[in-house]
Each structure stands twice: as C-alpha cells, then as structure tokens.
C-alpha cells in the first residue's frame, strides 16, 4: 500500500507541472467589476434578445435579435470565468445601437411561441477566443425610465476542432428552454398560460428571467474549474446531439447542473463514451430524465410528456427514459436516478459524509470524517439509489460518498467503475457546486461560505477523473536470460503507450526517485529486458494518453534468485 500511495503522489506532482492551457491564459487577463455585468434579479422586460446560435466556434459570428422600446442601446460581450474573483471579462462592445420594439410571434401551425425578430446586431468571435460561457449584456442607453435596463443573451464558444481539452463541460441549454415561459408557454403547466404546457418550445426567443440559466447550478462550477486552472472546454446539449463523437475527444465529460432533457442521440453518446473509457461526472441532479427530440434544425425542442406522442418509433417517444420501451433508467448510466423533490422554503438539505471518508483517496487531505455534514448542498431536487434497482442498474463495487437520510426519500452521491475502467461520479444533488464558490450566497437565504473540505474533495475527484484507467494488472516472468513484464489493461484507443518502471528493493518508492528506472515504453501488452541481477524488485505500470498518465499499478515484490548453472 505504501508503494502505491507514493507512486500516486508522484504521478500527481508530475501532472501538476504540465504547461499552461488556454483557460489559465484567459483567466490571467483582467476581469470586469461585477456591478458592470451582473444582471439584476428581476428587471423589467424593457430590453430583450436572443441569438440564432446556441454555440459557435472561434471565428464564427453570433447573430443577435434585440427588441426594445428605447431609441438606443449597446451590447457588451462578456466571458464568464474566474478572473481573480471578478467572475467575467468584457471582451467586446457594440455601442450606439438603434432600438426597435418587436412583437411576439405565435406559430399556430406548430403551437410554438417564437420571437421572429430580424437580426439587429452581430458579433464575430475572435479566432483566438477561449472556449466558455459568453454573455451578451443588452444595456438601454436612452434617457428616461428605462435607462440602464438590462437584458441578456447567453451563448457558448466551443474549442477549435484541432484542440481537445482534458475536460469537457456540457451546458444544459435544453433544460433552460424547457423551463423558459417566455411568450406564455414552457414544457411545464406551472408557468404556462391556462396551466397547459406546450409540446414544443423554441430557442428563437429570449430567456425569461424566471427561467433557469447558467447562474443557478452551473456558474459556481465554472468559477471553481477556471480558478484552479483546469484544461476545460464547453459545449451545449445541441452540440452533443450534432456531434456525439465529440465526447470521445476528452478524458472527462462533466454534465453541469440541472441537465434534465436529453435526446436519444445524447444518451447513446454518453453510454458509448463510458464504454470506451471516458470518465463522467454529473455535478447536479435530475440529469437524463426526459427524452426529447429536435425539429427545425435543432431550434425547436419537442416534448409531449403526458400527452400522446404521435412518433411511431417507441425508442424516440418523448417520455421519461425509464418509461421507454425498452426502458433506459438513468441509473444504468449514473448509478442513481431522480427521486426527490421539495420546495426551498422547507429548509436546507444537507449531505452526510459516508464511511468511505475513512479510507477512500477522494477524501484524502479534506479533513472530512464519517458523519460530517456538507450544509445546504442537496437543493430542492436530488437523485437516489433505487430501493429496488432495475437489473440494468447493478454496479458492482459502487462507493457511496455522501448521503441525505430524510423526506421524501434519501439522496446519494456515488462513484462506480465501469467494465471499461471509466469512473462515473454522480453527485445526486442540485446544488452540488454551491459549496465550491461564493457566487450563490444569498440565494434562498444561503449565508454559508465555501466549504474548503468539499473543495479539496472535488480536486481529488478531478485528479482521478482526468486520468485514464490504471492497468488492470502487471505481471513479471523471470527466465534464464530474460525478464518479461506483461501489462494487462483496458481497451482504450486514446491510450498511446504504457510506461513500466522498476525499483530495487521492497520499500516504498516514488516514480521520480533517483533509483527508479524506466524499463520500457510499450504500445503492446509486454516488454522484455535482460535477466535481472539477484535481488528484490517492484514494478509499476502507467497508462499514458495525450493529457497525462493513470495512477500506477504496482506489483508485489519480485525476488530474483541466482540462476542455477547448467550441468
């Protein structure tokens, strides 16, 4: 055990010396004071807008559609991040725009509210732009009652196709629109006119201030990732549906916040990514719950829910994934499934640290002990281990990390390892990112500072999840003239080689110690060297991909005795 731990720490220290990535360079730039960019809580709808694109690549153009009764306004483009705690950086300004009030457009043939407004402004993203959440702030500049009224349009800049960040964050734009009541309809009765929900909602409309958006369950995570300099890029649900293979171009895919609405293609992509060795992290709850379809070139979301869906293919019906034919319960992918819901006014819901804290490496250095509390982290929706799990949801070796025992049902944060070697972390809590940063202080009466113990837990988790799977086993065969080291590993096309190290003696060692030798780098299953001299040795093997290396798999002590001479 001592050897393994020493080797792991050494591997982590080597990864920490990696060269700077685009996120580190971006966040070294000066940020903007929050008062200049943050939106008011519930301002009037004096100025509103939407974009023709949910995401773009560097060099592409965002087309904005703005409506206002005022004569003049300006568009300020910010990128959200850390920036020394300021949280955003002004990257462009479109001054002195001429205002015009547009109207609602209702497509009676489709039942979809669309803001069919003309393009009023454009912004071409620089070729050097860093991937991230971008935020077009619409500011009324005319004198009068609406002076400095603000609207907002959020879009995502993806990374160039030639770049493959270590971490990919999926932005849940489908869920933003599912809850968006602009025009009078969402996919929910509670905020739809006449308490009758729509079966189609459009991206071609502003995001109402009462809808969900990036500042609810995602922005704290973004600030944490960028503050810590992780190599991260961003794309939306729509991008995953259009390019499902993109998940295979990263070592870890994080599903941010409340990502409730997925297509069949998205679910297929996540299943395939996990089965190919891609690590997954769900940093919210209620993910992959409802199946939807797209229409109108991904600009319309279709979700019949409790209404009869005319789609003839049962695999494409817009209903709960767990109710499809055949069923695809969320726990088959995540290990947990959505079970709990209650309003915030009933008080905070805390997580309790499980018994795993005593030995699990994700808890190392956190200060957590079994039974400790993470306060007000679960939120108003959560996931649970099914009391009677479907057969698809059996996950041998699953580790429960945090739990809430209470009403209406328990909440669970878990980790499991797939047969591919991929590790899957499901946080099970809507507000899982809130203890990572200060941003949501004041929401629902929250007064808690960030939890430094939970921050360290997430650093440990990310250190593991951003690595390929360790080799399954390493064996050594000593023959008369040769020593053969056999590495048994998971199949992963992104692993380019296996590095094998040797240390004399049986004591603990670190990979960068002076008496440790690199025996071989192999792309196959085995490597050979001359027969070792008599003595005791240990070997360690690491899987290496383009982003770094796995934790080492270490052999037991190998004792080489003096060869007998032939008679």
Q: Are residues 542 and 421 in the same domain?
A: no
Tell me how far apart the alpha carbons of residues 400 and 409 are, in angstroms, rounded to a whole number: 16
Any domain includes 10 = no
Are 121 and 175 found together in one domain? Answer: no
> Which domain-ending residue is among 419, 443, 466?
466
Domain-embedded: residue 298: yes
- Any idea which residue has 């192999």 for tokens? 522
pLDDT for 12 equals 40
What is the DSSP-derived secondary structure letter of residue 333? H
Question: Do residues 448 and 301 share a domain?
Answer: yes
- Is the domain of 116 the same as that of 262? no
CATH number at residue 153: 2.60.40.1930
Do residue 223 and residue 371 come from a single domain?
A: yes
Whether the predicted pLDDT of 17 surpasses 50? no
Q: Are 451 and 501 within one domain?
A: no
Residue 255 tokens, joined: 């599903």
Q: Map residue 179 onto helix, strand or coil.
A: helix
Give the best-scoring range by mean pLDDT among 149-158, 165-174, 213-222.
165-174
Q: Tell me, yes or no, whether 8 lies in a domain.
A: no
Structural domain total, the chain: 3
Whether the predicted pLDDT of 500 surpasses 50: yes
H helix runs in 439-538, sequence order: 452-465
Structural domain contains residue 6: no
Q: Which structural domain range is residue 513 located in?
A: 473-560
Q: 282: part of which helix (H) or strand (E)?
A: strand 279-282
Least confident of 36-40, 358-362, 405-409: 36-40
505 Cβ contact partners less than 8 Å away, ≥ 6 residues apart: 535, 536, 537, 538
Are 264 and 119 in a shared domain?
no
> Who wins on pLDDT, 349 or 564?
349
Same domain, 315 and 288: yes
Mean pLDDT of all residues in 205-211: 89
Read off the DSSP letter of residue 429. Answer: B
154 and 168 together in one domain: no
CATH at 545: 2.60.40.10
Domain end, chosen from 159, 178, 195, is at 159
Structure tokens at 300: 């319309």
What three-state secondary structure class fits 64? Answer: strand
Residues 391 and 429 in one domain: yes
* Mean pLDDT, residues 68-90 taken together: 95
CA-based angle 306:309:315, to the nearest 5? Answer: 105
CATH value at residue 366: 3.40.50.880
Tokens (6 digits) for 514: 């002076």
Q: Which of 116, 132, 159 is the last residue of a domain?
A: 159
| C-alpha span between 38 and 494 (Å, rounded) | 40
Classify residue 9: in a domain, yes or no: no
Consecutive H or E run containing 522: strand 517-522
Q: How many CA atoms lie within 13 A of 165 on its CB side?
A: 26
Lowest-confidence segment of 34-48, 149-163, 167-181, 543-557 by average pLDDT: 34-48
pLDDT at 14: 36
Question: 37-51, 343-357, 425-439: lowest mean pLDDT where?
Answer: 37-51
Residues 172 and 317 in one domain: yes
121 and 254 housed in the same domain: no
Q: Per residue in 316-342, pLDDT tens?
A: 999 999 999 999 999 999 999 999 888
**Which is more confident, 533 or 550?**
550
Please give the share of the chain, as a percent, with pLDDT higher than 70.
92
Instruction: Please give the mean pLDDT across all residues of the chain.
Output: 91
């Amino acid at each position: 055990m001592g050897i393994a731990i020493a080797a792991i720490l050494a591997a982590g220290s080597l990864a920490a010396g990696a060269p700077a990535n685009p996120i580190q360079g971006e966040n070294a730039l000066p940020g903007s004071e929050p008062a200049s960019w943050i939106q008011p809580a519930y301002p009037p709808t004096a100025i509103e807008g939407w974009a023709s694109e949910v995401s773009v690549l560097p060099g592409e153009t965002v087309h904005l559609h703005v409506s206002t009764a005022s004569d003049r306004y300006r568009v300020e483009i910010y990128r959200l991040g850390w920036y020394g705690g300021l949280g955003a950086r002004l990257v462009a300004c479109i001054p002195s725009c001429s205002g015009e009030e547009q109207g609602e457009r209702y497509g009676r043939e489709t039942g979809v509210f669309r803001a069919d407004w003309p393009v009023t402004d454009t912004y071409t993203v620089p070729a050097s732009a860093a991937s991230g959440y971008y935020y077009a702030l619409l500011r009324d500049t005319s004198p009068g009652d609406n002076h400095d009224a603000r609207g907002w349009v959020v879009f995502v800049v993806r990374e160039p196709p030639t770049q493959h960040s270590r971490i990919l964050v999926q932005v849940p734009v489908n869920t933003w629109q599912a809850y968006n009541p602009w025009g009078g309809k969402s996919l929910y009765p509670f905020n739809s006119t006449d308490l009758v929900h729509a079966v189609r909602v459009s991206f071609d409309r502003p995001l109402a201030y009462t809808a969900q958006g990036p500042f609810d369950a995602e922005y704290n995570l973004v600030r944490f990732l960028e503050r810590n300099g992780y190599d991260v890029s961003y794309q939306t649900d729509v991008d995953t549906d259009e390019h499902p293979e993109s998940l295979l171009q990263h070592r870890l895919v994080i599903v941010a916040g409340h990502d409730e609405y997925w297509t069949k293609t998205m679910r297929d992509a996540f299943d395939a990514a996990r089965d190919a060795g891609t690590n997954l992290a769900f940093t919210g709850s209620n993910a992959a719950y409802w199946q939807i379809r797209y229409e109108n070139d991904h600009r319309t979301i279709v979700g019949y829910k409790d209404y009869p869906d005319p789609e003839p293919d049962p695999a494409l019906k817009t209903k709960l994934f767990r109710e499809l034919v055949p069923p695809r319960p969320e726990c088959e992918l995540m290990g947990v499934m959505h079970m709990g819901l209650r309003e915030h006014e009933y008080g905070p819901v805390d997580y309790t640290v499980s018994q795993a804290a005593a030995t699990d490496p994700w808890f190392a250095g956190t200060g957590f002990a079994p039974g400790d509390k993470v306060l007000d982290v679960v939120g108003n929706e959560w996931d649970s281990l099914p009391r009677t799990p479907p057969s698809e949801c059996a996950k041998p070796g699953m580790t429960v990390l945090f739990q809430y025992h209470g009403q209406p049902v328990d909440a669970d944060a878990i980790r499991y390892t797939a047969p591919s070697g991929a590790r899957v972390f499901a946080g099970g809590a809507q507000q899982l990112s809130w203890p990572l940063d200060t941003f949501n202080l004041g929401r629902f009466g929250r007064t808690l500072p960030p939890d430094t113990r939970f921050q360290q837990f997430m650093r440990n988790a990310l250190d593991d999840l951003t690595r390929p799977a360790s080799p399954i086993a390493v064996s050594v065969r000593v023959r008369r003239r040769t020593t053969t080291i056999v590495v048994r590993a998971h199949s992963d096309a992104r692993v380019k080689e296996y590095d094998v190290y040797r240390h004399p003696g049986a004591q603990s060692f670190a990979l960068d110690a002076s008496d440790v030798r690199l025996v071989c780098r192999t792309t196959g299953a085995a490597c050979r060297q001359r027969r070792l001299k008599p003595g005791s040795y240990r070997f360690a093997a690491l899987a290496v991909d383009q982003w770094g290396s796995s934790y080492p798999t270490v052999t037991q002590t190998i004792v080489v005795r003096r060869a007998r001479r032939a008679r």
